[in-house]
Amino acid sequence: MNTTIMLFLMQDGITNGAIYALLGLALVLVFAVTRVILIPQGEFVTYGALTYASLAAGQMPGTAKLALALGIGAFAFDLIVARKALHGRLILRSVVTNIVLPSIVLALTVYFAAQKPPVAICIVLSLVIVAMIGLYLYRIAFQPLAHTSVLVLLIASVGVHLALQGLGLLFFGAEGQRGPAVLSGAFTAGALRFTGQSLTVYGITVAFIVGLWLFFGLTLYGKALRATAVNRLGARLAGIRTTLSGQIAFLLASVIGALSGIMIVPITTLYYDSGFLIGLKGFVAAIIGGLVSYPLTAVAALVVGLVEAFSSFYASNYKEVIVFMLLIPVLLLRSLAAPAVEEEKD
Amino acid sequence: MSALLSVTDAHVAYGKVEAVRSVSLEVGANQIVTIVGANGAGKTTLLSAIMGILPLKGRVAFAGQDLARLDIEDRVAMGLGLVPEHRELFVTMNVEDNLELGAFRIERSRAKSSIERVYALFPRLKERRKQLAGTLSGGEQQMLAMGRALMGEPKLLMLDEPSLGLAPIIVADIFRIVTELRASGVSVLLVEQNAQAALKIADRAYVMELGEFVLSGKASDIAANERVAASYLGFQHEGESAL
């Protein structure tokens, strides 16, 4: 192998690794705050990517309708919970977030889809649509189960993943799609050629990580999210609603997922079910980070990306196998290093 | 004047086992009320249920409003605070962040002045403002837990065993601060195994045995009661040996 190939593979690995890092961070965040292992993270990626690609191709994405349908579902849940003490203000807020908002977005989507909108509008619409789906899914599928065990939440998570994947097939069909590059053009540095798209990936990943770091370190809501992750009862005693923290976590995770999708879809053809495998690689990174450590997860994600790039060169048939095998030594070491964790009680 | 907190005929059960049976109590404004009793009498269970952590059968009213449908966070916003036995601090966050989060439901401008009040009450916390909560000593953690609860501007602060496991000099400090709280208009419901110290500062007292209140009245009367002295104060009378 010569240096040029090695540099190419490294570049490829870092680009993918950056995406896995974002996904891994979202997984850690959601798990720490809500104890949900977010299997449908991959669907957020696909939905974001394919909504973006559909819009850019002048097609109406079904996800905008799904957002409204889920919003109506979320509103119904709010009504059922509040039936004994109907508060005008609470109902109004629920109507606005769950029905008015997705209706406006649906109207905008219908309007713009007909006229091949510019890239920026496609991105914003896709992000908002997937963010709403994430928020309503939390309300419908996870908030009512918030007090159950990790296992029950995991089962719900798998259910949501399967449902979203099926709906993805319905909305986008079995054929793959590609979207337009967010930033076109390229430049060369030595043997390496940097495309605008790969620079976008680096830029957005770094910006997002810095943004998250500032959010968690400096803002009251960011600190509240950390507090919920550290001590759920303590947070409630400080007046921080677990549901609020859960909503913020799901909102962030769905935006991160959709953004990753939008960054990948100009590079790779994505199918309705591609997200799962991409999400799983973020999951490998998150597991290596023990589902708690953000920096370790980010570093592990880069390792996953590099291992994937090199194994696709040397043994492309086994590339997925090799990536997932990374988990085995990590799990072994973790099980030896840490004593058995007591079954949580909550 | 109606009581700030009134609990009527409360029952709290873990499955089929009733840990608290038919308990009624009242805490008035500007009062320190203590519940004393042996380990396992149901004191912590009662406080948890008043806070909404455990389900309670019976009636709990705070500031004239029935709490039945309100969850923990709403009770906090109404001015009911609990410092639990295990303190439940955000151990990986620093002292200042812990305090700031205590005022999560309070306007930002008011929170700034609250934090200065808490630092005035606990100067130790100010010295350690950038230190992680998990690295504080037991006494400092207790101060931080109380400080965090006070940041929420409670009208009634419920303290669960604040002196447990702390050095006597710190215990004295904490009891002094409890009386200062009363002076500043915060009522306190104090659960303590250290009955002697609690009865000294309290206005009213309840004695709890096996999930029920067996005695109630003015704290000084309870302290003078022979049965209480024999069961709860016996080991702690000055000049007496622990044997």
Query: pLDDT (tens digit, 9 = 90+) per residue, B86-135?
Result: 999 999 999 999 999 999 999 888 898 999 999 999 999 999 999 999 99
Q: Please name the residue of chain A whose CA is at the shortest distance from the CA of residue B97.
A: A223
* Three-class SS state of A280: helix
* Per-residue pLDDT tens over the stretch B211-229: 999 989 999 888 888 777 7
- Per-residue pLDDT, B236: 45
**Inter-chain residue contact B69 with A239, CB threshold 8 Å:** no
Count of domains for chain A: 1
Mean pLDDT of B149-177: 92
CB B158 within 8 A of CB B72: no
How many whole angstroms separate alpha carbon A281 and alpha carbon A278? 5
* Three-class SS state of A270: strand
- Is 0.95 exceeded by the ipTM? no
- Per-residue pLDDT, A339: 62
- Per-residue pLDDT, A341: 55
Q: Smallest CA–CA separation between A102 and chain B, in Å? A: 29
Confidence of residue A346 (pLDDT cuts 50, 70, 90): very low
Confidence of residue A30 (pLDDT cuts 50, 70, 90): very high
The single residue listed with the structure tokens 């449902």 is A163
- Per-residue pLDDT, B165: 85
Residue B242 reports pLDDT greater than 80: no
Mean pLDDT of A219-241: 94
**Inter-chain residue contact B81 with A237, CB threshold 8 Å:** yes
Determine the residue type at B213. F
Q: Is the dihedral of CA A65, A69, A75, A81 positive or negative?
A: negative
Confidence of residue B164 (pLDDT cuts 50, 70, 90): confident
* Per-residue pLDDT tens over the stretch B39-95: 888 999 999 999 999 999 999 999 989 998 888 999 999 999 999 999 999 999 999
Domain layout of chain B by residue ranges: 1-79+154-165+184-243, 87-153
The single residue listed with the structure tokens 């007909």 is A114
**Which of A90, A223, A237 should one mutate to test binding to chain B, selecting the residue with the greatest count of B CBs within 10 A?**
A237
Among A84, A220, A230, the residue with its CB nearest the CB of B104 is A220
| CATH superfamily to which B1-79+154-165+184-243 belongs | P-loop containing nucleotide triphosphate hydrolases (3.40.50.300)
CB B133 within 8 A of CB B91: yes
Crossing angle between the packed helical segments B138-151 and B168-183, to the nearest 10 degrees: 10
Give the neighbor-by-neighbor strand order of the sheet with B187-192.
B80-83, B156-160, B187-192, B32-37, B204-209, B212-218
Q: Smallest CA–CA separation between A150 and chain B, in Å? A: 20
**Which of B14, B44, B72 should one mutate to test binding to chain A, selecting the residue with the greatest count of A CBs within 10 A?**
B72
User: Would you call A242 exposed, middle or buried from its count of C-beta atoms within 10 A (0-12, 13-18, 19+)?
Assistant: buried
Residue B239 reports pLDDT greater than 60: no
**Inter-chain residue contact B104 with A238, CB threshold 8 Å:** yes
Confidence of residue B193 (pLDDT cuts 50, 70, 90): confident
Enclosing domain of residue A157: 3-337
- Per-residue pLDDT, B234: 56
* Per-residue pLDDT tens over the stretch A120-165: 999 999 999 999 999 999 999 999 998 899 999 999 999 999 999 9
Which two tokens mark A62? 């079904």
Q: Please name the residue of chain A whose CA is at the shortest distance from the CA of residue B158.
A: A237
- Per-residue pLDDT, B235: 47
Answer whether residue A342 is part of any domain. Answer: no
Higher pLDDT pick, B178 / A88 = B178
* Per-residue pLDDT tens over the stretch A87-96: 788 889 899 9
- All residues of chain A having their beta carbon less than 8 Å from the beta carbon of residue B148 are 238
Q: Smallest CA–CA separation between B103 and chain A, in Å? A: 7
* Per-residue pLDDT tens over the stretch A287-302: 988 888 888 999 999 9
* Average pLDDT along chain A: 90
- Per-residue pLDDT, B240: 40
Residue A13 reports pLDDT greater than 80: yes
DSSP track, chain B: ---SEEEEEEEEEETTEEEEEEEEEEE-TT-EEEEEE-TTSSHHHHHHHHHTSS--EEEEEETTEE-TT--HHHHHHHTEEEE-TT----TTSBHHHHHHHHTTTS-HHHHHHHHHHHHHH-HHHHHTTTSBGGGS-HHHHHHHHHHHHHHT--SEEEEESTTTT--HHHHHHHHHHHHHHHHTT-EEEEEES-HHHHHHH-SEEEEEETTEEEEEEEHHHHHH-HHHIIIIIGGGSTT----
Q: Smallest CA–CA separation between B68 and chain A, in Å? A: 12
**Inter-chain residue contact B53 with A233, CB threshold 8 Å:** yes
- All residues of chain B having their beta carbon less than 8 Å from the beta carbon of residue A241 are 73
- Per-residue pLDDT, B4: 93
Q: What region does A185 belong to: left with phi over 0, alpha with psi -120 to 50, or beta?
A: left
- Per-residue pLDDT, B218: 92
Interface of chain B toward chain A, CB-CB under 8 angstroms: 51, 53, 69, 72-73, 76-77, 81-82, 84, 87-93, 97, 100-102, 104-105, 108, 148-149, 151-152
